[in-house]
Amino acid sequence: MNLLSKNVSYGIIALTFCFCSCNNEDDVNLSDSVSGKLVSITSNVADLDAQDPSDYINQFEYSNQKLENWHYAIGQMGLITNIFYNDDLISEIYYGTGIENLGYQFQYDESSNLIRISGSEVNLIFDYTIEYNGNQAILNDQLGSENIIVFLTQENKISKFTYDDGVEVEFNYNNGNLRSIKRNDTNNNVVWEVTYTHDNFKNPYSNDSFKNLASVFQWISVCGNSDQFLRTKEFLILQNKNNITNVDFDGQSPNQYFIKDQSYQYTYYQNGYPATKHLVDLDSSIEYIYE
């Protein structure tokens, strides 16, 4: 499905913006407030230039406060994410690109801990069972021998994982935000590290509608082998309390679509949600549309 071919009309919203690249809430002069529930994102970002799906044209559909459909257009390709629940937990996610369908399935124990994750992607099929021991979890490969050891924070976010080949990836958090990701090789040498800076304002993805999605997307990113890490980047924005203002990448990039240096500037509504976001390095902008 090509979302760019859809005739989408948005209501004209009269806004008076105070352009602000600062982190001080005293610098926000907008009188308007919004609900914080995202309906859509408009964007003029060109083909495959941005860091993550949130920087493209987006539409969000909810049912009973749960996100059920996330549509976004990347270049000339439209992508639809359908999310299914068992009570409040995500049981399945399916992607439809118009070319092929991809998907993930999740199983939980009685305490709502994820105990099995399986998926089908373009170049990867995986199936793992998960065993917990304190702050550690082991992903047991049901299709091969690529077991993965995962370490968790007190908030059940992934802090580090290790592949069978000895490659490690570490996550560092600060004040509710993903502060950095570092990948080490089998000799514990740093291959690359990415550092994030954030503002002090509200991330529109940091709410109950996206909460479970943030968790399962981080688990998805772990599955596979060490060369396939970070093929899904949604969790990089879903994990955060605040909005990313700067991305600093240092090291050897595995491909042209990997994380790159980027700076962002925002305008904000009076109650702290972003109104617009400017991608400084691409000279492109997006606008957040709320319910």
Domain span including residue 87: 3-290
Residue 98's pLDDT band (boundaries 50, 70, 90)?
low
Q: Give counts: helices (H), strands (E), the chain.
A: 2, 18
DSSP single-letter state for residue 238: H
Give the total number of structural domains in the chain. Answer: 1
For strands 158-163 and 148-152, give the pairing.
antiparallel
pLDDT band at 7 (very low <50, low <70, confident <90, very high): very low
Dihedral sign, CA of 277, 56, 124, 187?
negative
pLDDT digits (tens, 9 = 90+) for 186-203: 898 999 999 999 999 999
DSSP-assigned letter for residue 217: H
What is d(CA 221, CA 288) in angstroms, rounded to the nearest whole number?
Answer: 26
Mean pLDDT for 211-218 is 85
| Beta strand 177-184 pairing with 66-74 | unpaired
pTM: 0.83
Greater confidence, 222 or 140?
140
Distance, in Å, from the CA atom of 226 to the CA atom of 113, rounded to the nearest integer, reads 24
The reported pLDDT for the residue numbered 75 is 57
Query: What is the CATH number for 105?
Result: 2.40.160
